[in-house]
Structure formats: structure tokens, C-alpha cells
């Protein structure tokens, strides 16, 4: 029987596509049998207009809890910012049963399995890209994508079939994308909200919030256009 991850739109629990990530996952399962230790599914409704693309699950964060950015240091800033801009409601409690829900927003990762040292290899990004393509294709109302970091930015461009050279990554940059099956999309870039970037102040909370303020303005403008 074919492995589910090769036939369905989402990777199966035992997705075998990346030998290094599979070996890492098996070690983590043996060490921490209570953890999720599997590809992390996207979070949020497919009818959302906003998709946020992260890099990959953190070992003790999303890989443990099974929800993107949940229990990860990076999730503290991400979820607080989503709450502030009306893309989430409830209280972020760093665990998947905290009752937090996303509003008009869905979160996924460029690579679904936890990579050693948080660094996926190019072939792992390539192997996982069909799942990103499927996640994008599954969102009929998609209007805006936020790429958290250069790797997410490049994965989104490759998934869209666009050439990287025409769309240089930069914090706060906004790009127009044409993707088959979607109305014209806006891609917003942000530095990744990782512990390293925030501790070194490469990314500050106001810089991150500025990106989501621009995203909110873009979505509000397109709502006004379609209602008037
Ligand atoms: N957790 C995720 O799910 N994705 C990231 O990119 C970082 C932490």
C-alpha cells in the first residue's frame, strides 16, 4: 500500500520522504513517546484569506505539541501579534488545548517535520514543497501570504512557480504574486520571529507588528473593494 504522505495532500504521520528527518523523528519518539513527533499539520480554517508560512517545527515546540509555533519561543510573539491585529481570539497558552482560535488566518510551515538544529536541508525543503503547494491550493479565498524568513519566502515563490530573482526577500517588503487558481495574491515578508532574531534585535515587536498592520490594511482594503 502506498504511504499516505505520498498520495494525500497532507504528509502522513510516518512520512518517509526525508531520511534524515525520519531518523530524527524516530529518535525523538523513542525518547519522548508522549510528544507529537510527526509532521505538524496546518492550523486554522482553509477558508481564511491570510496564510502565514513559517520555517519548520521546533523540537520542543510544535514537534512536541503538534500545533505550529505552539510551545515554541517564536510562538509567543507570533500569537500575541495575531491577537493584537484580530487574526486570533482567546488566550495563547502555549499548548494545543488552550482554546485559541485563528480568525481569517491559517498557519503552516515550509517544512512539516522538525529538523536537527532547526535547519532543514535544501532537499528537505524540496521534498516538503508539494505539501505547501497543496496547503495553498486548499485555500479558495487566499489573498495574502506572510513569509516568516527567507526560507519561507523562497518556498512560497517556488510553490507559486515564480522566479526568485524577481522577488528579493526583505523585512517589510510586499510583492504581488500570480498563482494558478487564485485571484492576485500579496506576499509580505518578515524576518522570522525566532528567539535568535528577537534576542539580537534583528526583529523587534514593533517591526513585526508593522508587517501585520500592513497585512490588516491590505485585507481591509480588499474587503472594501469587494463590498463597494
Ligand atoms: N515553530 C514553527 O512551527 N515554525 C517555525 O518556523 C518556528 C517555530
Length of the chain, please? 228
How much is the pTM? 0.95
| Residues 39 and 67: beta-carbon distance below 8 Å | no
* Angle, alpha carbons 70-47-211 (nearest 5°): 55
User: Does any domain span residue 12?
Assistant: no
User: Does any domain span residue 5?
Assistant: no
Closest ligand 1 atom to Cα of 194: 7
User: Does any domain span residue 13?
Assistant: no
Element (H, E) at 195: helix 195-199
Element (H, E) at 76: helix 73-84
Q: What is the pLDDT of residue 227?
A: 78
Strands 101-102 and 105-109: unpaired
Q: Which residue segment(s) compose the domain that 95 sits in?
A: 19-227
Nearest Cα to Cα of residue 162 among 149, 177, 147: 177
Instruction: Quote the ligand 1 centre to 146 CA distance (angstroms).
Output: 13
Q: What is the CATH number of the domain that holds 85?
A: 3.40.470.10
Instruction: Quote the ligand 1 centre to 224 CA distance (angstroms).
Output: 32
* C-alpha–C-alpha distance, residues 88 and 107, integer Å: 11
Instruction: Quote the ligand 1 centre to 69 CA distance (angstroms).
Output: 5
Say whether pLDDT at 226 is over 90.
Answer: no
Overall number of domains in the chain: 1
User: Does any domain span residue 9?
Assistant: no
Q: What is the pLDDT of residue 3?
A: 39
Is 57 close to ligand 1, i.e. is its CB under 6 Å away? Answer: yes
pLDDT tens digit string along 109-132? 999 999 999 999 999 999 999 999
* C-alpha–C-alpha distance, residues 76 and 133, integer Å: 27
Q: What is the pLDDT of residue 224?
A: 82
* C-alpha–C-alpha distance, residues 85 and 212, integer Å: 7
User: Does any domain span residue 128?
Assistant: yes
Q: What's the count of helices (H) and strands (E) in the chain, helices before strands?
A: 8, 8
Amino acid at each position: 500500500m502506498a504511504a499516505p504522505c505520498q498520495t494525500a495532500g497532507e504528509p502522513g504521520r510516518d512520512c518517509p520522504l526525508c531520511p534524515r528527518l525520519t531518523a530524527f523523528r524516530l529518535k525523538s519518539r523513542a525518547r519522548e513517546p508522549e510528544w507529537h513527533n510527526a509532521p505538524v499539520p496546518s492550523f486554522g480554517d482553509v477558508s481564511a484569506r491570510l496564510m502565514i508560512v513559517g520555517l519548520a517545527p521546533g523540537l520542543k515546540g510544535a514537534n512536541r505539541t503538534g500545533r505550529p509555533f505552539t510551545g515554541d519561543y517564536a510562538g509567543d510573539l507570533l500569537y500575541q501579534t495575531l491577537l493584537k491585529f484580530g487574526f486570533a481570539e482567546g488566550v495563547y497558552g502555549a499548548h494545543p488545548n488552550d482554546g485559541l482560535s485563528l480568525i481569517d488566518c491559517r498557519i503552516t510551515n515550509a517544512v512539516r517535520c522538525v529538523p536537527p538544529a532547526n535547519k532543514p536541508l535544501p532537499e528537505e525543503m524540496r521534498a516538503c514543497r508539494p505539501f505547501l503547494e497543496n496547503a495553498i491550493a486548499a485555500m479558495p479565498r487566499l489573498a495574502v501570504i506572510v513569509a516568516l524568513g527567507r526560507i519561507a519566502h523562497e518556498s512560497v515563490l517556488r510553490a507559486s512557480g515564480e522566479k526568485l530573482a524577481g522577488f528579493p526577500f526583505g523585512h517589510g517588503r510586499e510583492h504581488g504574486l500570480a498563482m494558478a487558481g487564485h485571484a492576485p495574491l500579496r506576499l509580505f515578508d518578515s524576518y522570522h520571529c525566532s528567539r535568535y532574531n528577537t534576542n539580537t534585535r534583528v526583529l523587534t515587536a514593533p517591526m513585526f507588528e508593522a508587517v501585520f498592520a500592513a497585512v490588516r490594511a491590505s485585507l481591509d482594503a480588499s474587503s472594501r473593494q469587494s463590498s463597494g
